[in-house]
Amino acid sequence: MAANLKCAPVLAALLLVAAMVGTTNAGNIAVYWGQNGNEGTLADTCNSGLYAYVILAFLTTFGNGQTPVLNLAGHCDPGSGSCTGLSSDIQTCQSQGIRVLLSIGGATGSYGLSSTDDANSVADYLWNSYLGGSDGSTRPLGAAVLDGVDFDIENGQSAHYDDLANALKGKGSVLLSAAPQCPYPDASLAPALQTGQFDNVWIQFYNNPGCAYANGDDTNLVNAWSTWTSSVTAGSFYLGVPASTQAAGSGYIDPGTLTGTVIPAIQGVGKYGGIMVWNRFYDVQNNYSGQVKGSV
């Protein structure tokens, strides 16, 4: 049936408003890539159409005068220079509007900052080796310029990460993200997150029974989400979830519960940005992001 031509402009405007309202709280998906050689290539990850952010994990050694070490599991060997082959994959991702970040830290590794000067030195290294700087430094990932740096600091040492965040933001256009554990305040990132320098905060709501989803109950998760989003100034907050039961010791939320119960409970609280998924390997195995993408 054809619409009345006189009403068409009004109808079109109403439909536009409805569409805007329906997508206001739509979220993105961020995923960690790099810790399993069987998770597929970086280009395949981006070509899947699932993600807005891909986080390369991890720079496991830095600070305290140490030579930085990039560990991308079985994907490449930075010592031999083979990781420079990822440059074209990074550019493939970025050509699709996907932001690619380097994650520093991780659950294991040798890292820490001894002083403000040390933090500034690490910021210089990251800027010149992975971001937009160029002082003749060797670039482990080749010529591609990453979009930013992710702070996945898990060793309980919080000193001078606020200095590092400030120094990186002072370099220019650098996207900063952080992956704190859900107990507030995070033991490693509390001072850094009070700088207000972080664009995205993907909170790890797993491996922490006191604030993660457990036994069909999302009460602790929702309460922790409210605390985080009201206590930290950041661009957006993401719900960090494991992609399968094998991806974490606890905190797995099945896709139906995530989209039907948990997301609706937090979507209107704080600056909801979407979900972060750990990690691409398990995401491939369980098709987790594929099941939830339309509803996060």
Residues labelled as active-site residues: 154
Angle between helices 161-169 and 116-129 (to 10 degrees): 40
d(CA 152, CA 104): 6
The long-range contacts involving 197-200, CB below 8 angstroms and separated by at least 24 positions, are 197/165, 197/166, 197/168, 197/169, 198/151, 198/165, 198/232, 198/234, 198/235, 199/148, 199/175, 199/234, 199/235, 199/236, 200/30, 200/53, 200/175, 200/176, 200/234, 200/235, 200/236, 200/237, 200/238, 200/273
